[in-house]
């Protein structure tokens, strides 16, 4: 936190955040966050890692509240504005949050939780207080609790320290060559490492500017692009897919205007879910950019990245970021031979401290030698890592084979009548698991038998789905990841 504050002081006259079309300088951010810290302290000198939950729309206020909690010595617990009350209640109860800060528009949603915390604070009542802050959190102090997406089970609270966050920020700002001249648009949910660390904190660390859009729409995003001020853009594959679909509906003049603006960006990144090669190709046509795909998790921030300078290979995630060590290991946590698939395991200062209140779960994801077990399966080939899928979800064990669901999905997306798809393994007595595919198509009377014939020209027989569903949409979480356990239950 010290370095973030010092960097902000150095850049006090620069614009830190643009929110609702209003610019806020680093000086204003420092002043507002200090006022929030004083209000939270309420005469104390240190919150002593009290959990402070907050529900604030992505904005300058969100940024000031996050910094205010840290400057007061609290642990920040961002809540998701799209989650229903039961999901929010789970986080409040699991973290035993002592304070909730919220903006007025969320009051009716959160009111049932007022009795569960000692202080229930609407942002409007927090005003400036004088005096200097007497406390600076040590790097080893807990700073943030973010909840896993829950795609493979109940969400767990991932605890990162100030030191972990600094390591996550510096590995990205170094590898992706951030500078104070950068300007990035943030349209991602702010309860997730992608929006908080990769975008907002990297920008603020660098003395750069972060603009917020309160709500995603392709029209508004393209409008921001055309202003010619942005230098970076980061999003999830679902957002790129929606932008591409909207762009295709525009006139040739509008298409050229957008493409002319996009070519001036220095970097565009995709993450939080596997990037379909078809989306990569369409975006290159639209923007002139090969999206940089990287690999990370809530538990470690980003760990592996395609190069900022150099070739970015479709379907690959690159090599370890600065300060991160990676190995591929077998089921006994032993390194696999070169060219063989194995679980990605990580060491480095970026790796989280613990799952909140779950010492056994924490112990289970670390080897005896201190490697964090990601649960993701990859292979190292052509000088780069390639993800095959998540061990429990995307690796299907059928008839003695270990089959990557992601590989089958990529082939299915090449079919001219398939808009989107997802592949899962469903239990089967004879095969162990059967390959099953959910297909999204606009074509009436889509012929699944013809699809199987087509697939036989693309895949070996043991990789061809045995069951299909024709669906209108895929179940997804707020980050755009397909919730495959939910999809499995539909078969």
pLDDT of residue 244: 94
Q: Quick one: average pLDDT of 257-267?
A: 96
pLDDT in the model for residue 260: 96
The reply to whether 358 falls in a domain is: no
Q: What percent of the chain has pLDDT over 70?
A: 98
15, part of any domain: no
Compute the distance between CA of residue 280 and CA of residue 413 in angstroms, rounded to an integer: 12
Residue-range definition of the domain harbouring residue 404:
395-490
Rounded to a whole number of angstroms, the CA Rg of the chain reads: 23
Distance separating alpha carbons of residues 185 and 177, to the nearest angstrom: 17
- Does some domain include residue 466? yes
Per-residue pLDDT at 84: 86
Cα–Cα nearest to 293, from 218, 237, 375:
237
234 contacts 201 by C-beta, under 8 angstroms: no
Tokens (6 digits) for 157 = 């609270």
pLDDT in tens, 197-242: 999 999 999 999 999 997 899 999 999 999 999 999 999 888 998 9
Number of domains in the chain: 1
Whether 38 maps to a domain, the answer reads no
In a domain? residue 378:
no
Answering whether pTM is above 0.75, one says yes
SS3 content of the chain, % helix, strand, coil (to 5): 35, 25, 40
User: Does 157 have pLDDT greater than 50?
Assistant: yes
Given a cut of 60, whether residue 474 has pLDDT beyond it is yes
Per-residue pLDDT, averaged over 25-48, amounts to 95
Indicate whether 448 belongs to any domain.
yes
Give the pLDDT confidence score for residue 278 in this predicted structure: 83
Write down the mean pLDDT value for the chain.
92
Q: Which helix (H) or strand (E) holds 206?
A: helix 202-206
Express each pLDDT in 335-385 by its tens digit.
999 889 999 999 999 999 999 999 999 999 999 999 999 999 999 999 999
Residue 155 pLDDT level (bands cut at 50, 70, 90)? confident
Q: What is the average pLDDT across 454-462?
A: 89
CB atoms near residue 430 (< 10 Å): 7
User: Is residue 134, in this structure, part of any structural domain at all?
Assistant: no
383: Cα separation from own chain's centroid = 25
Predicted confidence at residue 215, as pLDDT, reads 85
Q: In the prediction, which pLDDT does 151 show?
A: 47
CA–CA distances in Å: residue 311 to residues 305, 327, 388, 407: 12, 22, 20, 21
Given this model, what pLDDT does residue 127 score? Answer: 75
* CATH code for position 465: 3.30.300.30
pLDDT in tens, 322-336: 999 999 999 999 999
User: b or e along 299-314 (b: 16 or more beta carbons within 10 Å of the residue's beta carbon)?
Assistant: bbbbbbbbebeeebbb
DSSP string of 54-94, one letter each residue: EE--SSHHHHHHHHHHHHTTPEEEEPPTTS-HHHHHHHHHH
10 vs 392, residue with greater confidence: 10
Q: Per-residue pLDDT tens for 57-102?
A: 999 999 999 999 999 999 999 999 888 898 899 999 999 999 999 9
The kind and range of the H/E element at 315 are none
H/E run at residue 377: strand 372-381
Pairing relation of β-strands 354-355 and 325-329? unpaired
pLDDT in tens, 102-145: 999 999 999 999 999 999 999 998 876 767 887 789 999 999 99
CB contact set of 159 (below 8 Å; sequence gap of 6+): 75, 142, 144, 145, 352, 353, 354, 355, 356
pLDDT at 150: 53
The whole-number pLDDT of residue 154 equals 67
Q: Report the Cα 374 to chain-centroid distance in Å.
A: 15
Q: Is residue 446 part of a domain?
A: yes
CA distance 202 to 209: 10
């Amino acid at each position: 936190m010290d370095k973030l504050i010092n960097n902000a002081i150095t850049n006090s006259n620069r614009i830190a955040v643009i929110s609702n079309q209003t610019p806020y300088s680093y000086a204003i951010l420092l002043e507002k966050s200090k006022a929030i810290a004083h209000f939270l302290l309420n005469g104390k000198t240190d919150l002593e890692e009290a959990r402070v939950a907050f529900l604030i729309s992505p904005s300058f206020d969100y940024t000031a509240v996050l910094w205010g909690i840290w400057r007061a010595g609290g642990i920040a617990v961002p809540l998701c504005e799209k989650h229903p009350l039961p999901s929010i209640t789970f986080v409040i109860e699991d973290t035993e949050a002592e304070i909730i800060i919220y903006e007025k528009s969320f009051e009716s949603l959160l009111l049932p939780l007022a009795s569960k915390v000692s202080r229930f604070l609407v942002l409007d009542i927090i005003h400036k207080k004088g005096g200097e802050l007497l406390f600076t959190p040590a790097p080893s102090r807990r700073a943030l609790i973010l909840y896993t997406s829950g795609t493979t089970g109940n969400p767990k609270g991932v605890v990162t320290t100030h030191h972990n966050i600094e390591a996550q920020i510096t590995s990205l700002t170094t590898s992706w060559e951030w500078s104070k001249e950068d300007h990035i648009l943030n349209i991602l949910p702010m309860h997730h490492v992608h929006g908080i660390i990769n975008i907002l904190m990297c920008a603020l660390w660098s003395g750069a500017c972060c603009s917020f859009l309160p709500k995603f729409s392709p029209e508004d995003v393209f409008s921001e692009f055309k202003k010619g001020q942005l230098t970076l853009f980061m999003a999830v594959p679902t957002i790129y897919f929606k932008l591409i679909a909207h762009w295709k509906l525009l006139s040739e003049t509008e298409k050229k205007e957008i493409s002319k603006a996009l070519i001036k960006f220095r970097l565009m990144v995709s993450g939080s879910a596997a990037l379909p090669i078809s989306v990569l190709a369409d975006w290159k046509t639209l923007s002139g950019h090969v999206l940089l795909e990287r690999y990370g998790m809530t538990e470690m921030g980003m760990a592996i990245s395609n190069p900022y300078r150099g070739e970015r290979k479709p379907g690959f995630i690159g090599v370890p970021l600065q300060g991160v060590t990676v190995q591929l290991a077998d089921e006994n946590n032993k390194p696999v031979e070169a060219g063989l698939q194995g679980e990605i395991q990580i060491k480095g200062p970026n790796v989280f401290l613990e799952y909140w209140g779950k010492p056994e779960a924490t112990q289970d994801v670390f080897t005896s030698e201190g490697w964090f077990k990601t649960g993701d399966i990859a292979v190292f080939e052509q000088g780069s890592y390639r993800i095959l899928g998540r061990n429990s979800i995307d690796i299907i064990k059928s008839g003695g084979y270990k089959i990557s669901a992601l590989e089958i999905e990529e082939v299915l997306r090449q079919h001219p009548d398939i808009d989107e798809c997802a592949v899962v393994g469903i239990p089967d007595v004879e095969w162990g698991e059967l390959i099953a595919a959910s297909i999204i198509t606009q074509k009436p009377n889509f012929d699944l038998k013809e699809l199987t014939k087509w697939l036989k020209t693309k895949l070996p027989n043991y990789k061809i789905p045995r069951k299909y569903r024709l669906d209108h949409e895929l179940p997804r979480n707020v980050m755009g990841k397909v919730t495959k356990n939910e999809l499995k239950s539909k078969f």
